[in-house]
Structure 1
Amino acid sequence: MRNRLQFVAVVATLGLVAIPLPTEAAERVSLTNGYELLCNHHEQVGSLIRLYLGSSDSSSYIDRSPEDIAKIETIPDPPPSSSAAAPGNNAKLSPADLHEMLAEAGQQHNLDADLLASVVKAESNGDAHAVSRAGARGLMQLMPKTAAEQGVDDSFSPDENVRGGSAYLNDLLVKYHDNISLALAAYNAGPAAVDKYHGIPPYHETRTYIARVIHEFNRRVLAREALARQSGISSPGFEASPTR
């Protein structure tokens, strides 16, 4: 079954350009027209500012006039979460185990496993014992109330956490008609905030979170497509998810 979300072009709501985003910290370029771009890095080339879109492909870039750019700032890596011991579940989770869990959860909800992996990376960086300052727990950082609503008894159990977090993300995608930006905003800030502002809340943390997840998701999909081409394996083309 084809995943309903495979590649995300975010243009209108966040003002982010849909590009192959880099693995490391990106730069946010604020334009004088009010829009923003994400790039890997930039440099002065003659009278123009060259914005490189890929981490290793120097041929992928756009040139803008300095007058078009209001500021350029680095999107920092998220601070490490504090950790708590997972009761009765101290075995280290291997990347292969996590991949299998995400693939199974993705298949269950018709979601791309790379999208789920991108959420895990942004939420906990793969730390099954992570606890946020607000009390969110585990790989997909479930709040106790959300965990209870999803039938998760132990948020520190990787398989339970992934199952609950994937189900919750799927619920949000259904609620917002597969608008991934709104679903991620609700995952980060809560559906009440999205509904209050009739869109993505004006919170810097939430907007950076959405950019980081989509950044990682697009990178993973593009890398997967490149590997498929090198292997001579045919794979589905990209599909842009609608945004508001």
Structure 2
Amino acid sequence: MKPLYSVLLWLLLCAPAGAEALQWYAVPADPAPSAPLAPPPALGNEPAASAAPKPLSSSAQRYRPLIDDVARQHALDPMLIHAVVQVESAYRPEAVSGKGAVGLMQLMPATAARFGQTALYDPRANLQAGAAYLDWLMNRFDGRLDLALAAYNAGEGAVARYGNAIPPYAETRDYVRKVMAHYAGLKGEAGAMPAAEAIPAPASRRPRRAAGGIGDMEQFWRLFTGGSPRPPAARL
């Protein structure tokens, strides 16, 4: 024992100053498993917020079977026809505008005649002509609903003269916004509709006019009165 005691004493004396005494440590137990982290949400892929579809009014319900039938014949969404009818006439088949547009879809007689309809006070005939015209306009403007609606209001010639853009007529631009907003509401997509300012403005240039002649009534009016003609009366 004496040699072992001498060795231990020698080790203690040779230990460096400030060294900490040896300690026994217990091995800690395994921590409880934590819940897995939820994956971060995908950016830019979230579905657009949707709302409940706006219910059809009692007047709209009255014409729903007829509109469904006409829309099916022309491969159009019935809610689109409902939106046009609501804005154009508020479902009044006897409505006549100051410009002479008639019936539920407010068609000019000459326009309706292009699609084989003349009895414009008859709801079916009026809807047939209006749906046929909308279908034709959608094909004419490559499926652009905003341009088709602008042409329905102002004429396809006006849209073409402004480089296939919505003409800068306050009435037409307001009409396009109203119909598209009502259409979105009927489909439950009101939250996804762009703001009014989102409708692009056409290029800042005047449309080309026929050269000379008294057909240019705006020029004739200015020469005669020294001023500008009155703006077109609002429909209905």
Give the structure-2-normalised TM-score: 0.55
Structure 2 counterpart of 1:209: 175
From the superposition, tell whether residues 99 and 205 of structure 1 become closer, same or farther in structure 2 (CA, over 3 Å): same
Aligned with 1:218 (options 166, 171, 184): 184
Code of the residue aligned with 2:81 in structure 1: it is L
Whose helix fraction is larger, Structure 1's or Structure 2's?
2
Provide structure 2 residue ranges, at least 5 long, that are not aligned to the other structure: 1-48, 193-198, 201-236
Asked if the contact 1:114–1:220 (Cα under 8 Å) also holds between the matched residues in 2, the reply is: yes
Gapped runs of 5+ residues in structure 1?
A: 1-17, 24-92, 226-237
SS of 1:185's equivalent in the other structure is: helix
Corresponding residue of 1:191? 156
Give the strand-richer structure, 1 or 2.
Answer: 1
Matched, 1:123 2:97: no
Task: Give 3-state SS (helix, strand or coil) of 1:131's partner.
Answer: coil
The Cα of 1:96 is off from its aligned counterpart by: 3.7
Provide the identity percentage. Answer: 40
Deviations, residues 107-126 of structure 1 (Å, cap 9, x unaligned) = 11111100000000010010
How big is each residue's C-alpha offset from its partner over 1:193-224, in whole Å with a ceiling of 9 and x where there is no partner?
A: 0000011100000000000000000000008x
**Segments of 4+ moved more than 4 angstroms:** 18-23
| Structure with larger RCO (C-alpha < 8 A, sep 6+) | 1
Find the residue that maps to 2:121 and give its secondary structure.
coil
Deviation of 1:153 after TM superposition, in Å, equals 2.0
Task: Please tell me whether residue 141 in structure 1 is matched to residue 140 in structure 2.
Answer: no
Q: What is the TM-score when the length of structure 1 is the normalising length? A: 0.53
Q: Give 1:62's aligned residue.
A: none
1:153-197 alpha-carbon deviations (Å, 9 max, x no partner): 210000000011000000000000110000000000000100000
Q: Which residue of 2 aligns with 1:164?
A: 129
The 5-angstrom pairing of residues 90-101 of structure 1 reads 95-101=60-66
Structure of larger gyration radius: 2
- Of 102-111 and 174-183, more deviation after overlay is shown by 102-111
